[in-house]
Amino acid sequence: MDEQAAKKLVGKFNQEELIQLICTLVVQNEEAEEQLLSFCQKEKPNQNKLLILEQQLNNAWINAYNIIDEFNEYGGGSENDEYDAYLELDRLAELLQETNFSWKLRKKILDEIMEQVHIDNSGFTDNLVDVAVELCQTKEENLYLANCLVQYGNSYYKKAAAQLYKENGEKTKYLIVLQENLEYSSDYVELATFYQQEGKENEAIQLAWKGLDESLYNWTDLYKFLFSYYQEKNDEASLLKLYQFSLMKKRNIDVMTEQMYNYYKKKRETVKQKEMLIKLMFCTNDVKKWYERCQEELTTDELAQYEPQFIEVIKKKNPSYYLDICIERGQLATVLLKLQNPNSSYYSYSTIDEDHRYSKQLIKEYPQEILALYWQEVDYYAKKGKRKNYSYVVNLLEEIHETMKKLHLEKQWEVQYQKFVVVHKRKRLLMEML
């Protein structure tokens, strides 16, 4: 039906009949509802503004809810639906910034969000909780959300609930939720810190030690918490006990050794400081930092005593730094052997010789050996195919050509280049790029 025909028809209706017609259309068609809301907002923006925004907010949530509920049922869905759901959630968040909606409406949406969070099978849970936070404005509303997260959320969101309790003055609930959800070392540190702030030092320290036995994954925060406490008390016996504990458990040894090193350095106990520094070289992954520290702090004789062991550790944990040391000491043959080792994965844009940083330093001393590696690399990437690899081949051939010109090996270049072309002549894209 065109616009002129529609005008003739509706022109015969009175106001009540027009209202009834619009209501019927809106109830039966979501797009008609959106058109009505957009029209009212455009033509009479100051009249019924809150009503219009409330309806838009509710519509945005309903559209998102329908998709998320289906995702929760099936454990996912199409990318298009996922994109649409994110758009609706973003729209909802934007509308919340425009005006102060009634708690009745916000609570209705919040409760439905928590239902979906509880199922936690849609992939939208994080976004839903973010929206839930936006829905709550007052202390009472935030506490309501915290109660919901405790009831419906997983352990991560229960900890988020604990923070809401703390921020809104509910220390008892904060404490209970934390105590019931101790899992990671950070959880134990947070609760121990709370005990400490409340003047319950013994409980804090007992909990931290308990966390070293019971918490999951990385214990660095717990070690540092206990170390800081004992250091402040100047309790060296307990510090050593903590250090021995890390050795016994064979975890975070580098963290604790560094803490002991810093402790003795601060106390100017040079002998013990050096002892920890040497031990650090055998447990740290940051061998470059601590080897350079050894060069600064150990005497010539002390360094000479441990140097062979240090170099072996560096060779294993930081091969690139090991080659830097070899270059600095003029041990070029050692570097060449490393590059020629088939287990070193020489090829340069993903390996130890990235951008040929070592090859360029060896080319004058070992021109034929390095050029042989270059040509192996060219052949390797040519065989891999694809435009990206061919592009790299072209650039590498240019580098080889320039290098061989500088070495006055133009004739050798011509022979090897023609041989390369013959081998790979069936690769049309590569030939075009060349």
Name the band, by pLDDT with cuts 50, 70 and 90, for residue 421. very high
Q: CB-side exposure of 56: number of CA atoms within 13 Å?
A: 24
Is 187 in contact with 178 (CB distance < 8 Å)?
Answer: yes
Condensed to tens digits (0 to 9), the pLDDT of residues 260-289 reads: 999 999 999 999 999 999 999 999 999 999
pLDDT 10s digits, 50-99: 777 888 898 899 999 999 999 999 999 999 999 999 999 999 999 999 88
Q: For the chain, give the longest Cα–Cα distance.
A: 108
DSSP-assigned letter for residue 342: G
- Alpha-carbon distance of 253 to 190, in angstroms, equals 22
Which residues, in sequence order, are bridge partners of residue 216? 184
Nearest to 366 by CA among 403, 325, 313, 402: 403
**Which amino acid is present at 52?**
I
The whole-model pTM stands at 0.72
Under the banding of pLDDT at 50, 70 and 90, the label for residue 195 is: very high
**Which of the residue ranges 38-42, 157-161, 223-227, 392-396 would you say has the lowest mean pLDDT?**
38-42
pLDDT of residue 9: 54
Tell me what percent of the residues of the chain surpass a pLDDT of 90: 77
Mean per-residue pLDDT of the chain: 89
> Between 4 and 272, whose confidence is greater?
272
Neighbours of 114 (CB within 10 A): 20
- Mean pLDDT value across residues 197-219: 94
Encoded tokens for 304: 């000479």
Helices (H), 198-286: 201-214, 220-232, 236-249, 253-266, 270-283
Cβ–Cβ under 8 Å, residues 223 and 246: yes
Tens of pLDDT, residues 328-338: 999 999 999 99
Question: What is the per-residue pLDDT for 23?
Answer: 58
Tell me if residue 299 falls in helix, strand or coil. Answer: coil
Judge contact between 132 and 91, C-beta under 8 A: no
Q: Which residue has the higher pLDDT, 7 or 93?
A: 93
Distance between CA atoms of residues 151 and 117, nearest Å = 10
Split at pLDDT 50, 70, 90, the class of 155 is confident
CA nearest to 424, candidates 393, 399, 388: 393
* Residue 241: pLDDT over 80: yes
The pLDDT value given to residue 8: 57
Q: Is 184 helix (H, G, I), strand (E, B) or coil?
A: strand
Contacts 24+ apart (CB under 8 A), 303-306: 306/278, 306/281
